[in-house]
């Protein structure tokens, strides 16, 4: 079992004056949802996600030794422009990880970041953004301590990303990533995401995710607030137990390739997530009328055609349409014919399972 203290590094063996790195990290889509957390970004239940391929953040990190080591010092650029309003979030992240990255106050950093997906598309960039930043910081640490193993590098990157945003720990490495202690997943941890360690049937190879952009507006309730409302939530303990059950079911489903069973788990998870929001106090709704129109249209299409397409939702109104590669043509035609009209400005993004972060 890993402890927080495993991520406090040994004394660095090298000194480095300056340098720069560039990493991309993808977004991910949860199949079993993380909703509710304890102190220090420990999830209330385990979750599992598909790593995406096209929706990603690209982050360049330049660093240079500074005179003193009193404070954090960094500039933040988003698409080449200084972005003051992102700074508090990064500052908070630095505070959370400083204990594990003792070099942080020794350098001035320039963080230059951009996303491949339209900004304000309602796609959460916190997962890909925090993962990309964590990868860069681990590259710095590896220069200071070259003896570090690859395993430690990726594990700690996920650990750090989690402290930035929980779901970000699932955007580091692997196509299917589990996060949170689960008795039946060897090596699983509340502290970092792990590549799903068991057999995955060919049915899930190249799985497709077409993201329908239903509403690009600011969310009325942030994920942070939503997670918080799971404390004292009347259904919390049942929900957390259900997440464990659903993850166990997925272990079997990934092996057998049973798409009907997959669809049941995934759609139930999506609706349960939103049911938790609707039954919080205060209660809230993030789905929009068009979210429901799309869900109903998918159900009708699936019933009529038997094409194994399903949906999931994250903490917003957008719909992720999930389907195997071999039915892409039919599903994309269906999206064009029947779903595009429900998207804001007809916008959607075609994505698929990917492998995680990459150094550029």
Identify the CA nearest to 322 among candidates 62, 29, 104: 29
Number of residues that bind ligand DP6 (CB under 6 A): 17
Q: Estimate the crossing angle of helix 236-256 against helix 259-278, to 10 degrees.
A: 160
For the segment 126-145, give every residue that binds ligand DP6 (CB under 6 A): 126
Per-residue b or e along 242-261, where b marks 16 or more CB atoms closer than 10 Å to that residue's CB: bbbebbbbbbebbeebbbee
By CB under 6 A, the residues from 90 to 129 that bind ligand DP6 are 124, 126
224, 256, 336, 359: residue in contact with ligand DP6 (rule CB under 6 A): 224
Per-position DSSP letters for 46-98, written without gaps between them: -EEEEEEEEEEEEEEEEEEE-S--SS-EEEEEETTEE-GGGHHHHHHHHHHHT
Closest separation in Å from C-beta 358 to ligand DP6: 21
Closest distance to ligand DP6 from the beta carbon of 252 (Å): 21
Write the CB contacts of 153 (distance below 8 Å, at least 6 apart in sequence).
138, 142
Comparing CB distances to ligand DP6, the nearer of 164 and 308 is 164
Binding mask 167-206 for ligand DP6 (x = CB under 6 A): x---------------------------------------
Q: How far is the CB of 210 from ligand DP6 (least distance, A)?
A: 18
Give dist(CA 334, CA 4) in Å, integer: 48
51 touches ligand DP6 (CB under 6 A): no
CB of 114 to ligand DP6, least distance (A): 20
Indicate which single residue of 59, 73, 223, 312 sits in contact with ligand DP6 (rule: CB under 6 A).
Answer: 223
Among 56, 156, 173, 227, binds ligand DP6 (CB under 6 A): 227
Phi, psi values for residue 289, rounded to 5°: -50, -40
* 314 touches ligand DP6 (CB under 6 A): yes
- The residue sitting closest to ligand DP6, measured at its beta carbon, is 166
Report how far apart, in Å, the C-alpha atoms of 342 and of each of 47, 112, 320, 338, 347 are: 29, 34, 13, 8, 9
Nearer to ligand DP6 by C-beta: 228 or 258?
A: 228
Nearest 5°: the CA angle 150, 48, 358 is 35
Q: Which is nearer to ligand DP6, 263 or 286 (CB)?
A: 286
Q: Using the rule CB under 6 A, is 158 a contact of ligand DP6?
A: no
Q: Which of 30, 104, 178, 250 binds ligand DP6 (CB under 6 A)?
A: 30
CB 133 within 8 A of CB 163: no
Q: Which residues bind ligand DP6 (CB under 6 A)?
A: 30, 33-35, 41, 47, 124, 126, 165-167, 223-224, 227, 273, 314-315
């Amino acid at each position: 079992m890993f402890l927080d203290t495993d991520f406090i590094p040994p004394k660095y063996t090298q000194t480095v004056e300056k340098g720069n790195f560039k990493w991309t990290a993808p977004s991910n889509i949860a199949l079993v949802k993380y909703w509710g957390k304890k102190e220090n970004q420990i999830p209330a239940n385990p979750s599992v996600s598909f790593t995406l391929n096209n929706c990603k953040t690209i982050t360049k990190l330049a660093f240079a030794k500074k005179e003193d080591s009193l404070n954090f010092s960094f500039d933040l650029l988003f698409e080449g422009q200084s972005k003051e309003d992102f700074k508090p979030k990064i500052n908070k992240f630095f505070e959370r990880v400083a204990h594990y990255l003792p070099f942080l106050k020794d350098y001035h950093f320039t963080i230059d970041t951009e996303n491949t997906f339209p900004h304000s598309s309602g796609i959460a960039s916190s997962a890909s953004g925090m993962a990309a930043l964590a990868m860069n910081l681990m590259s710095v640490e590896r220069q200071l301590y070259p003896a570090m193993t690859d395993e430690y590098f990726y594990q700690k990157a996920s650990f750090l990303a989690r402290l930035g945003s929980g779901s970000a720990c699932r955007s580091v490495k692997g196509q299917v990533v589990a996060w949170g202690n689960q008795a039946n997943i060897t090596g699983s941890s509340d502290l970092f995401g792990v590549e799903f360690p068991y057999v995955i049937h060919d049915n899930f190879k190249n799985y497709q995710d077409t993201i329908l952009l239903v509403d690009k507006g600011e969310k009325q309730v942030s994920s942070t607030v939503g997670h918080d409302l799971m404390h004292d939530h009347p259904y919390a303990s049942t929900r957390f137990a259900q997440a464990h059950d659903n993850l166990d079911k997925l272990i079997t489903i990934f092996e057998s390739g049973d798409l009907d069973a997959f669809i049941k788990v995934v759609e139930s998870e999506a609706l349960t997530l939103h049911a938790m929001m609707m039954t919080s106090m205060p209660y809230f709704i993030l789905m929009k009328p068009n979210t429901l129109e799309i869900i109903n249209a998918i159900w009708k299409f699936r019933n009529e055609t038997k094409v194994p397409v399903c949906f999931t939702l994250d903490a917003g109104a957008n719909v992720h349409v999930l389907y195997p590669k071999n039915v892409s043509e039919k599903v994309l035609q269906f999206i064009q014919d029947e779903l595009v009209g429900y998207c804001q400005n007809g916008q959607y993004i075609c994505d698929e399972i990917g492998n995680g972060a990459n150094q550029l």
